[in-house]
Every structure is written in C-alpha cells, then in structure tokens.
Amino acid sequence: MNASSAHARTTAAGSPAWLRGAVGYEVYVKSFSDTSGDGIGDIAGVTSRLDYVKWLGIDVVWLTPFFVSPGLDHGYDIASYCEIDPQHGDLDAVDALIARAHQLGIRVVFDLVANHTSVAHRWFETALADPLSPERDYYLFRDPSPDGGPPNNWLSHFGGPAWTLDESSGQYWCHLFLPEQPDLNWRNPAVRAEFDAILRFWFERGVDGFRVDVAHALTKHPQLPDNPQIREIAPDAGPMSAFASFDHVHDLDQDSNAEIFERWHDIAASYGACLIAESGVSDPARLARYVAPGKLDLAFALKPARMTWQPAELLTEMLALAEAEPDRLSWVTSNHDQDRVVSRFGDGPQGRQRALAVSTLMFSLGGVPFLYQGEELGLSNGQVDPDDRQDPIATRNGIATGRDLARTPMPWNPDINNGFSIGQPWLRSAQRPQGLTVAGQHENPRTPLHRYRRLISLRRHYPELWQAPHSIVSSGRDDVAVVQRGRTLTVANLSPEPFAINLGDRRWRVVFASQGADGDAARGVVNIAAETSAVLVLDE
C-alpha cells in the first residue's frame, strides 16, 4: 500500500476509515495456540486460528509482544524491536500471519513497548558498559540523593523503588516496572528517531497499527522531583497499593507526551495505520487529550476492566467516558493484566450474565470495543497452583495469584491441554471443561460464544450504534442506563430487579438481549430483566 492511497482512506480527523465501527480482539500470543509442541504459543498458532477469529466477526486483532526478549515480563521486556523471539517464530511467520489476516479482511495491530526496553537491549548494554556513550542518555541515569539513596521517592508498579543502582558508575537508573525494564529518556531526540525507524520497519511489512503500551508514562518531569504522598503505606501493602499511595504528577501523564504522539501520528497516517493508547489515566478529560485530532486514534478505557460488580459506579464511569470522548475510545471489560470480568462480576452463570450485560452497553457507546481471548466463551479466571506462578508481580512479591489467572491457555477443545498444545503449557493450569471450550460451545446456539458473535454482528447490521450521535436518556436510577443512537435504544439494567421502560406508541424490535429471546416486538411499557441489557431498533 503506498502512502498516498493509504492517506486517502483516512477520516477527516486523521484516523483510518477502517477503524470506524470495528470490533477488536486481543490475542495473548504466549497462551493462544502452540504449533511447535513446546508449550508456548506462537505466530503460526495465531495464523492457524484466524478463520475462527473471522467467523466470530472480528475486524482487528491486537497481538501481545513476540519480539526477542529475556521473558522476565513475558515479552514486555524487549531486547530487539525488529526481531522475532525464536520461541514464537520468525519474520516469515509474521509475514504469513499478516498476509492471511488481510486475505480474511482482518487488520493486525502489534504492541509497541516504548516506555522501556530490556536490560538485554544493545542500547542499555552499551549504556552500562560506557557511561560516556550516546546510549547512556537513551535512559534515565541519575546521581544518588544526598543520603546516597535513590534520586527521588518514585515507586515501581511491580514493587519497591523505581531506581536500581549501577554500582560501576554510582548512578541509578529509572524503571517504573521491573529493574530489568529500564525506562527510556523520551526527551532525547535520538530515542525519538530510533522509534520512527521501528514504526516504519513494521508499517512497510504491512502491520496496520500499534497498541502503545503505557502511553501515559513515556515522558517524565525533567527535574524528576518527588511525587506527593497522599496516604501512609501499610506494612503489608502490595506493590499496587503502595504505588497508589502517591499522586503521580511527575512520573505519569505529562503534557509533553503529546509531542511524541503527534510525531507518530504523521508516520502512521502515511500508511493508513492506527495508534491505540494503553493509558492508565482515569480522568475522562485528561484521557481525551491522548486522542485529540492529530494524536493517537484511540485510547483504551481501562478502568471498567479493573472494576468489580458495582453497577452504579460502572455506569457512572462508562457514561462519563462516553460523554468526554464519544468516538475514540477502545472499550474493554477484560485484558491480560486483570482478573477476568466473569470472576470480578461474581463467577459462574451470574458472572457471565453480568459480563455480557456490560459488554452490550459498551458495544453501543461508539469507539472500538475489544474482547480478550476467551471472553467470548464466558471464561472465568484459570486455576493456577501457587507453585506454578509465572507473573513477576506474584513471584517477586510473594503474592499468591497475580496476573497468571487471566493468562492461562485458550481452551479450544476438551483434548489434552484443551487443544492449546501437545506439550506441557508454559503456564500450568487446570483443564477447562468441555462446555467452556470453543468446540464445546460451537454447536450450541445458546452458549456465550454465539451470543457474543451476535453482539459483534450488531455493529455491522446497525451502524447507528457507533455512527449516530448518542443521547443518554434519564432512567431515574443510577444502576440503569438508557442510550439512544439514531433509531437504536440500548437499555442496560444492571439492577437486581426488572426495570420497566415506557416506549410509548412507537413499535420497537429487540434485536439483541444479553439474556432471553431476541426478535420480540415491543411497545408501551416493557420490562427489562434484572442484570440484562437489550438493544432495540425502531421497527417502522
């Protein structure tokens, strides 16, 4: 695809036209499908399952990192951005995946881990070996504080200080995650130029975009001052609780990030490609800054993917986000970093019912909703023995669970290892029952798999769900949301009792219900069942 033809296919706001109305699907590559038999998911495994992804109705697949890496954070510690880790395949396998996806009409998005590299990256190895090298300024090395300790009070997301001492030079390096994931210095023009080349390398090979990992953390305050502490840290506090004890005004969400996004946007737009922010920013107005015209195309609305079953709080959060940015959010209820939504919402049939009710509302809020692999099956957390933990948050902090529970292998069928691999999976976990596998649900139209497939198809059949301006209709309750878009009406009743809505004399048709029957005609007073969302369309 040449740059001029790609640019012609962008919208007025500069985003690719193909992104509008799309539905995405996150593939955690290491746990999706293994073709080599070594128990580790690979690129060829993803390619072999693309027909399933197409059948599901997905438009965009986002793949977690598969680049050369020591694997201390399962690929998010990258040692080379343009080489493939042999355990996942090679460049030929990537080219084959992109070609097959495009043949099926599926766009492919990779992960861009730009906040940090691995200590095994040649840039960092040079920076350590020669403090006078240009690569030293690729990272944030600083002298100790007057007492000889870390330069400031910043903490790592993964536990402990965000600084590790380089004993040979006496300076510390900054890392907001593992010590083996040193943060890059994004105020250095050379770093920006390096990533320009990385983006172009992959865009030239046909990649359709990038999900930008921790996009809100790239630049830091130039003086690296202490963050204000807002509460005491309990003696038994875990890493995330300790991290939340500070107001991260100096290490996160700096306005200077916008300069980087504008630069990347110009590159991506010339290829008709997209950029999606993974941003921990929760304030709707500040999140909207990341997707202003000429910056990133979408930003993940991550807070709903962390919340437990709190109907009023969920709806308040989601509707506020939709009001602040009605078109350029990526909606998620699950991802590889959080407990699965079914488990957070109560587990079992109740958790599945609630999860689909929330997803139905999300599919009516514009933007681009993403499903996380297995979400369409109604999967709850996997079962992992504490001795089999792999997540560094758990293993390095003595935590019993961590992110492993959301990363267990995709259950394709009831065969050995649920059809994920003929070898022992990298993450040992309990076998899923047949009813929670793709094969076990495929033949039964009443299963979650078919309901999610029908929900996905709604956006194609009723483009008003993402195209028309939305209006939030007062329901008189804080646990019920009513959203009108053109001829569509979505009623999300997250309350524990039925909700009566008066539709007046006009004739409506229920085109989707998260539970119960579809296709019923409706007018006058209609009851929406408890913990159920329904999408209605004017039938006249």
The per-residue pLDDT for range 237-264, each reduced to its tens digit, is 989 899 999 999 999 999 999 999 999 9
Same domain? For 203 and 98 the reply is: yes
How many residues can be counted in the chain?
540
* Distance, CA of 232 to CA of 245 (rounded, Å): 7
Tell me the whole-structure pTM to 2 decimals: 0.95
Please identify, among 457, 482, 515, the residue that sits at the C-terminal boundary of a domain.
457
- What are the tens digits of pLDDT across the range 89-148? 999 999 999 999 999 999 999 999 999 999 999 999 999 999 999 999 999 999 999 999
Same domain? For 356 and 210 the reply is: yes
Residue corresponding to tokens 């012609």 = 8
Q: CA 340: distance to chain centroid?
A: 13
Ranges assigned E (strand) in 332-426: 368-372
Question: According to the model, what pLDDT value does residue 521 have?
Answer: 79
Same domain? For 141 and 109 the reply is: no
Please identify, among 414, 434, 457, the residue that sits at the C-terminal boundary of a domain.
457
- What are the tens digits of pLDDT across the range 44-58? 999 999 999 999 999
pLDDT(12) > 70: no
Please identify, among 423, 457, 491, the residue that sits at the C-terminal boundary of a domain.
457
Q: Residue 261 domain-assigned? A: yes
Evaluate whether 269 touches 10 at the Cβ level (below 8 Å): yes
pLDDT(401) > 80: no
Distances 210 to 65, 79, 213, 246, 460 between C-alpha atoms, Å? 11, 18, 9, 30, 24
Mean pLDDT of 167-173: 97
Question: For every residue of 80-142, which 3-state class applies, written as one string?
Answer: EEEEECCCCCCHHHHHHHHHHHHHCCCEEEEEECCCECCCCCHHHHHHHHCCCCHHHHHECEE
* Distance, CA of 302 to CA of 448 (rounded, Å): 23
Same domain? For 411 and 293 the reply is: yes
Question: According to the model, what pLDDT value does residue 1 have?
Answer: 33
pLDDT(520) > 80: no
Mean pLDDT of 171-186: 98
pLDDT(161) > 80: yes
Which range is least confidently modeled, 167-176, 245-254, 260-269, 399-408? 399-408
Evaluate whether 399 touches 405 at the Cβ level (below 8 Å): no
Q: Residue 181 domain-assigned? A: no
Same domain? For 106 and 138 the reply is: no
- What are the tens digits of pLDDT across the range 425-451? 999 999 999 999 999 999 999 999 999
Evaluate whether 411 touches 438 at the Cβ level (below 8 Å): yes
Question: According to the model, what pLDDT value does residue 217 have?
Answer: 97
For residues 198, 199, 201, 202, the Cα torsion angle rounded to the nearest 10 degrees is: 120
* Distance, CA of 68 to CA of 73 (rounded, Å): 12
Same domain? For 204 and 293 the reply is: yes
Question: According to the model, what pLDDT value does residue 82 have?
Answer: 98
From the CB of residue 461, how many other CB atoms can be counted at a distance below 10 Å?
A: 11
Q: Residue 179 domain-assigned? A: no
- Average pLDDT of the chain? 94
Same domain? For 242 and 363 the reply is: yes
Burial (CB count within 10 angstroms: exposed 0-12, middle 13-18, buried 19+), residue 321:
buried
Question: According to the model, what pLDDT value does residue 398 have?
Answer: 84
Q: Residue 365 domain-assigned? A: yes
CATH code, domain carrying 380: 3.20.20.80
Question: According to the model, what pLDDT value does residue 185 have?
Answer: 98
Q: Residue 462 domain-assigned? A: no
Same domain? For 93 and 144 the reply is: no
Residues spanned by the domain of 325: 3-118+188-457
CA angle, 160 as apex, 158 and 163 as ends, to 5°? 100
Beta bridge partners of 26: 62, 372
pLDDT(9) > 60: no
pLDDT(6) > 50: no
For residue 296, which phi and psi values (nearest 5 degrees)? -80, 155
Same domain? For 149 and 271 the reply is: no
Evaluate whether 427 touches 409 at the Cβ level (below 8 Å): yes
Question: According to the model, what pLDDT value does residue 524 have?
Answer: 87
Which range is least confidently modeled, 142-151, 311-320, 392-401, 477-486? 392-401
CATH code, domain carrying 485: 2.60.40.1180
For residue 536, which phi and psi values (nearest 5 degrees)? -115, 150
Distances 8 to 15, 16, 295, 361 between C-alpha atoms, Å? 11, 9, 18, 32
Same domain? For 267 and 129 the reply is: no
The catalytic residue positions are 213, 278
- What are the tens digits of pLDDT across the range 58-68? 999 999 999 99
Q: How many domains does the chain have?
A: 3
Confidence bin at 13 (pLDDT 50/70/90): low
Question: According to the model, what pLDDT value does residue 11 have?
Answer: 47
Same domain? For 252 and 362 the reply is: yes
Burial (CB count within 10 angstroms: exposed 0-12, middle 13-18, buried 19+), residue 144:
middle
CATH code, domain carrying 140: 3.90.400.10
